[in-house]
Chains A and B, each alone.
Chain A
Amino acid sequence: MSAELQAGRHGAPLVIDQVHKRFTQGRRVAHILRGCSLTIGAGEIVALVGESGSGKSTLARTIMKLYTPDEGKLLFGSEDVTHAKGKALRQYRERVQMVFQDPFASLNPAHSIRTILRRSLPPSARHYSERQREDLFDEVLTQVGLTPASNFLQQFPHELSGGQRQRVALARSLAGRPDLVLADEPVSMLDVSLRLGVLNLMLSLNERFGIGYLYITHDLASARYVASRIAVMYAGEIVEEGPAEAIVEEAKHPYTQLLVQAAPDPDRRGLQELDESVFTGEPPDLSREIQGCPFQFRCPHVMEKCYESSPPLKDLGNGQKVKCFLAE
C-alpha cells in the first residue's frame, strides 16, 4: 500500500463490488455471499440489516480480509485490497478495524486492559516510546468515556461491566486511528439501559473524528438511529439499500417490508397489524444454486418471472436501490 492511501486520511471510501464467498465442506458447497455490492463512503455510517444466516458477519469478515473473496473486488480508496498481503494488508487493517458482538469473549481474560490495548497497537506505532504509548492509551480510553483512564488500564476484563468492556473494545479499535470500524452487533449482548450509551459513543466518534462505521444489526430501530444509510441483506445479497428514513418508511422490497413489520413497536398495540400469511417458509438452502430471486420461497407477491431470473438492482433515484421486479 502506498503513500497515496496514507495521505488520503478520512477520504477513503470502501467499495465492495460483486463479492462472492463460498465455503466447502467435503463435497458440499455453501454460497454464503452471492454477488454482494455495497459502498461505505468516507466517514459514513451504514447499517447492514438482515436475519441470522443472511451473511452479514461473513461480509464483515471478508471486508476485514479474514476471508478472501472468491470473486469480486474490494477497493479501499484507490487501492485494490482484494488480494492484499503482508505489509499492504497490515496497513489496510490499521485503517479498517472490527468490534465484535460479545465483549465477554473478545477481550482476553488473562490480560489487563493496558496489555489488551498494547497488543492492538498498529505497526505504525511500534516506535512509540513508553510515554507516548501511555498517552495514547489515556487518550483512547478518555474518548470512549472510561475515566480516569489510569484506573481502567490496570484492571482486568472481569472487573468491568458489559458496557465498559464494549467501550474497551471500541477503544482498542481506535488505537490505530481507523477510517472505518466494522461493528458486528456491538450492543446486542448489552443490557438495554447501556445500549444507547454505546450507540451514542459511536455517533460522537463519527462526528469528532470522521470515523465511518458499518453497523451490523437485526434491530431496524437502532439502525435508523445511528446510520444515514441502511442496506438490507438476504441470502448473501443486498436486496435493498437507501437512506435510513426511506428504508423504514417506504420499504420497496417485500423482505424489508417483512423486517419493518416484525420489528417491535410499542406504539402499535397488539399484533393485529401482523399479516400472518407473510410468515411462511424459511431462508433458502444456500448449498444449492438458487434460480431466480432468493426471496421467492417466502414472498407473498411472487410472480412467474421471479422463478426464472434474478431481478436487477433498480435505482429509484432518491438514493434507494432495490432488487425486486415490483419496484417501478
Chain B
Amino acid sequence: MTFSVQDVSVSYPTSRGWVQAVRNVDLQIRPGELVGLAGESGSGKSTLVLAATRVLKAPAVSVTGRVEIMGQDVFAWSDKELRAQRWQTFSFVTQSAMNALNPVMRVRAQMHDAMRAHDPHYQKAKADKRCEEVLRIVEVPAAKLDSYPHQLSGGQRQRMVIALALLLQPQLVIMDEPTTALDVVAQREIIALIRRLQRELGFAVLLITHDLSLLLEVADAVTVMYGGRVMESGRSHELLRKASHPYSRALIHSFPPLHGAMQRQEGIPGTPPDMLNPPLGCPFAARCVMATKECGEQMPPLTRYGDRLVACHHVSEQDFQGAGVIV
C-alpha cells in the first residue's frame, strides 16, 4: 500500500466543544493508482488528508487512528523525519494555484526552495537541470521558469504546481481540488496530463474533489464521504454501475447526463448536518429516502462486501449476490 488510513478520526476544539470533523475513516491506495475522495464541502475530506499527513497537528486538532505511507507509521515520525519524508515520499497539489505560488518570486526560485529544503543532495546546477526536466514533463516551455506567477495563464500555473509536486519524484501526490478554478477544457487537459504522468512515472494520486462525475470517469477507485464518515467506497466503474449507499446513488443522480434521454431529476432535499451537533446515527439519515428509526439512532458500521465498503443499515450481503462484486 502506498497510503493507508485506518480508523482515523479528527476533531477540532472550538469554544463550543469538540467538532468531530472526521470519524472512523478507512482508505487505501495501491501503487500507481488514482483514488478519488469525493464529498461536499464540510464532509471532512480535506481535514482527513491534512490531518493524516500531519499538516494539521495538535493542539489544533486531535487525531486518532493509524496512517501509513509506504508502510511507515506517519504518526511515529519525529519532526525531522517528517520533514525528510515530505516532498520525497509524498507531496501536495493545492486547490488554488494562484495562492499556492509565491507572487513575488520567480517559479525557478520557488522550485529551488523546495529542493533545498527537502533534498539532502541539493546542488544548484543539478537542481536547475531538474527544473527543466519537470517543466518538460508537464509540457510548459522551459523559458517560463523565469516567469512570475502572474505572467502565466491559469492552466500553466496549475501545471507549475504539479511540476513542483513532482520535483523529488514522490510515490504519492495528494491533489486537493486541482482543477476547480479552471474551466472544462483546461480541467480536461490537466486530468489527462496527470493520468499520462502516472502511467510514465508510476506515482499514486489521491484526488480530492466534489465532482463525482469526473472521478467516476477517470479514477480507479472512489471513496464517498458525508458528514465526516465514509459512506461507500469501491472501484469506480462498479460504483457507477451499481452504487449501494442511498447517498452515493443520489449523488450520481444529481448530475444531469450529457447524452441520452433527458428527464426531470430530483436533487437531494435538505442540507448537510451541523458538525457541531452531529446526528446520533447516520449523518445522511435526515435527507435519506430510505431512512428508518434505526438510522437516526445508530450509525451503521462500515462493512466490507468484496471490493466494496458500505455504511448503511439497508444494505446487506444479498444486494451484492449475482452482481459479480463478491468473488
Contacts and interface: CB of A to CB of B under 8 A. Distances in A.
B185 interface: yes
Given A196-B265, A218-B183, A221-B255, A266 B213 contact: yes
A191 B210 contact: yes
B50 interface: no
Nearest to A193: B268
B212 interface: yes
A8 interface: no
Interface string B244-274: 0000001110111111101011111101100
A260 interface: yes
A288 to B, nearest CB: 16
A221 B182 CA distance: 17
A121 B246 CA distance: 42
A265 to B, nearest CB: 5
A163 interface: yes
B200 interface: no
Contact of B267 (A200, A258, A263): A200
A161 B271 contact: yes
Interface in A220-279: 220-222, 224-225, 248-249, 258-271, 274, 276, 279
Contacts of B1: none
B213 A265 contact: yes
Interface string A189-202: 00111111101100
B214 interface: yes
B271 A194 contact: yes
Contacts of A263: 184, 258
Contacts of B212: 192
Nearest to B247: A193
Contact of A262 (B187, B195, B250, B255): B187
B184 A195 contact: no
B254 A266 contact: no
Given A194-B267, A271-B195, A274-B188, A264 B40 contact: no
Nearest to A255: B185
A184 interface: no
A258 B237 contact: no
A23 B258 CA distance: 36
B185 A258 contact: yes
A71 interface: no
Given A200-B264, A264-B214, A193 B185 contact: no
A270 to B, nearest CB: 7
B185 A192 contact: no
B321 interface: no
Interface residues of B, number: 46
B259 A267 contact: yes
A264 B185 contact: no
A225 B256 CA distance: 6
A262 B188 contact: yes
A134 interface: no
B146 interface: no
Nearest to A50: B183
A327 B105 CA distance: 47
B91 to A, nearest CB: 23
Nearest to B216: A266
Contacts of A269: 217, 237
A94 interface: no
B258 A265 contact: yes
Nearest to A196: B267
A201 B252 CA distance: 20
Nearest to B214: A264
B217 A248 contact: no
Contacts of B185: 51, 258-259, 262, 279
Contact of B210 (A192, A264, A267): A192
B41 interface: yes
B50 to A, nearest CB: 20
A138 interface: no
Interface string A269-294: 11100101001001000000000000
Interface of A: 51-52, 161-164, 191-197, 199-200, 203, 218-222, 224-225, 248-249, 258-271, 274, 276, 279, 282
Given A203-B264, A219-B184, 12 more contacts: A194-B267, A196-B265, A196-B267, A224-B258, A261-B188, A264-B211, A264-B217, A267-B258, A268-B217, A271-B217, A276-B192, A279-B192
8 contacts: A163-B271, A192-B251, A193-B250, A200-B267, A262-B184, A266-B217, A266-B240, A271-B218
Give 8 closest A-B pairs by Cβ, nearest first: A196-B267, A225-B256, A266-B216, A262-B188, A193-B268, A191-B40, A197-B267, A51-B183
